[in-house]
Structure 1
């Protein structure tokens, strides 16, 4: 530390900056600069402010939705203690709304004046993010007169970015796009103005829109686990482990047909050894493809496209699709380690009927570095669209509401000796239940942008 004479008057300014900490974590540090000349000091401060103001990607006014009930119910505390002080340092103003009911954020976004915001922040878990995402996508399509119920509709990407402050049980989406579930790290990504587009899948039943999905869409094992966990919400986050164990022991399989359109024009494979990282060239290629005009895409022969569809029939323990790796602290590589955030594809994983021991081996590989697809009963495909059609003992109607009113424990009336006590499962769509077994799924490339940059190597 230098010493100065008492006759010298010092002037100073402090610069707060981002510094990388442990793996994928960021922290806010500060450096103080001293100057003996008051005018020079002010010139430096003014020059720095002008440089910051010129950064168009940095948000200045945000709308923040806080879920006070998610995870350990610490959403408000996390925001006001850790995030709000950083926003104030960065001169970001925020309109804060603490949600009071399910779909509060979605409904607000459908009617709010979004032109005055530079972005939206979700404080909570994956469910809170899903609400915000649904509201933003639906509002964008509504403004442009696009009918979401039309399965083949070309949805228009959203302009506003979404920031995620993790405060839920798993925070899978945050972990899979940042590499850590740390509120300070996520807040700093928002402040810096990072931008990363992500793919979104639309889910339809017949000609009725059901949900959007950005992470896991799972039928069978993950659907049954979610349904059981909803009965045990009093257990908190531990209910997922409890329900998962119960579902594993029940070992139900479901018969049906999966038809899909392979992503033959996209580079990369679900078996690639390298994951999607910041600046991914495969995602860049996907973005370039999006820029191709609709007219050019329509030049493809419809008859030729129909010939590309593949069909797989059988009995499945799980039918899973992922738009991203679905990594989380318990599964650092995720359910599909090589899935990409923004390449316009879905990784479709089919787990055929097998023994409990074999299925356990598959599940264990979610938590280690072994190839989880290296089993005879598991197959994975990179696709653009897929459809699932369940097989029922009574096939007059494919609507689960009509044939599956007593979903659990229902015995086939026509085949009393049959072992399919559960005729159908439900879909786990990013932690929300879809009570339709027959669905159509289509991926929309780079439909939403997040305040992240992807996982850095």
Structure 2
């Protein structure tokens, strides 16, 4: 924690989404403390991290690298890092009680997706195949949760310091390498970039309450997915978190919706029992039996709910990732 970060140009993580999460979490805590902000205070203001992060995919999922480069090829990822170009991306903070439980750069799921990851952790000996088998049983044993959900909606558009970038998925699935441009000019272009602190402030608004009381899942994705024709495509640095609330529904309908999500269909959230709300922040209070445990899926890591309420907040463009998705 005492190393001078000015001595470094960036950080490269070799691994999957969990390793990326650990790097983001460590740098975020350091950034907050350097500015005399308390990581355990959900009201703390986070500036953009000083060091950009590169990801060389070597894990089980590698979704962040895939979304960023359009491929899970480690050679492509390494070349993108050498080029030095960066794209802004959002993260979300997770607080329980008066303590920070973590930061998410990919997915933060409560309810079903939390149970899925908890169940998968029991079968790590199965390797990556557990992610294809275990979730089916988790869905069959899905459990409704009584909750109260409040949120701060995104009502006013704000000027972004960098326009949103969307990957054109069909062009990138076949990508295995990229041309190398002038590295020095690319790095210089990054270092000269300035960011207004206002980019990280919440849109002024009042807390509202969601109507749903019994849900199967409450999820959000810091890298939002947007329709691109018939498919969904990742979108970096959006103005909002998309709060997804899965309400009561028949099991067969739920399976169809989850299959559409897995297939990346643009209509995957167009179901009556799925509510989408653009938010800056939200809170979930569980109205539960004290003997029952609940879990959150934070970028593939399981976090046990230690308090009846948790708080999630958007930190816009807080991270710079080495890479440049094509339009």
TM normalised by structure 1 equals: 0.59
Q: Is 1:362–2:268 an aligned residue pair? A: no
Q: Name stretches of at least 5 consecutive residues in structure 1 with no aligned partner.
A: 1-109, 268-273, 279-286, 394-402, 408-423
Decide which of 156, 164, 173 is 1:265's aligned counterpart: 156
Q: Which residue of 2 aligns with 1:456?
A: 326
Q: Is 1:251–2:122 an aligned residue pair? A: no
Q: How does 1:19-38 map to 2 (within 5 A)?
A: none
Q: Which residue of 1 aligns with 2:49?
A: 158
Deviation sequence 1:71-90 (CA, Å, 0-9, x none): xxxxxxxxxxxxxxxxxxxx
Decide which of 129, 142, 149 is 1:238's aligned counterpart: 129
Q: Which residue of 2 aligns with 1:349?
A: 244
Shift of 1:379: 1.1
* Structure 1 residues 368 and 192, CA gap change in structure 2 (3 angstroms): closer
* Structure 1 residues 247 and 117, CA gap change in structure 2 (3 angstroms): same
Shift of 1:257: 1.4
Q: Is 1:376–2:272 an aligned residue pair? A: yes
Hey, which of these two has a bigger chunk of strand by percent? Answer: 2
Shift of 1:186: 0.5
Q: Secondary structure at the match of 2:156?
A: coil
Q: How does 1:61-140 map to 2 (within 5 A)?
A: 110-140=1-31
Q: Is 1:177–2:68 an aligned residue pair? A: yes
Deviation sequence 1:331-363 (CA, Å, 0-9, x none): x98xx9466321241111111121110001101
Decide which of 177, 190, 210 is 1:311's aligned counterpart: 210
Decide which of 303, 317, 320 is 1:434's aligned counterpart: 303
Deviation sequence 1:62-118 (CA, Å, 0-9, x none): xxxxxxxxxxxxxxxxxxxxxxxxxxxxxxxxxxxxxxxxxxxxxxxx343432211
Q: Which residue of 2 aligns with 1:416?
A: none
Decide which of 83, 94, 111 is 1:220's aligned counterpart: 111
Q: C-alpha distance in 2, partners of 1:182/1:263?
A: 36
Q: Secondary structure at the match of 2:282?
A: strand
* Structure 1 residues 449 and 259, CA gap change in structure 2 (3 angstroms): same
Shift of 1:180: 1.1
Q: Secondary structure at the match of 1:215?
A: coil
Q: C-alpha distance in 2, partners of 1:262/1:355?
A: 29
Q: Which residue of 2 aligns with 1:389?
A: 285
Give the total of aligned pairs. Answer: 293
* Structure 1 residues 119 and 185, CA gap change in structure 2 (3 angstroms): same
Q: C-alpha distance in 2, partners of 1:118/1:289?
A: 18
Shift of 1:381: 1.1
Q: Which residue of 1 aligns with 2:89?
A: 198
* Structure 1 residues 361 and 248, CA gap change in structure 2 (3 angstroms): same
* Structure 1 residues 111 and 243, CA gap change in structure 2 (3 angstroms): farther
Q: C-alpha distance in 2, partners of 1:243/1:293?
A: 40
Higher relative contact order (CA 8 A, sep 6+): 2
TM normalised by structure 2 equals: 0.82
Q: C-alpha distance in 2, partners of 1:345/1:189?
A: 27
Q: Which residue of 2 aligns with 1:321?
A: 220
- More deviation, 188-197/361-370: 361-370
Q: Which residue of 2 aligns with 1:271?
A: none
CA contact under 8 A between 2:154 and 2:203: conserved in structure 1? Answer: no
Q: Name stretches of at least 5 consecutive residues in structure 2 with no aligned partner.
A: 159-163, 169-192
Q: Secondary structure at the match of 1:347?
A: strand
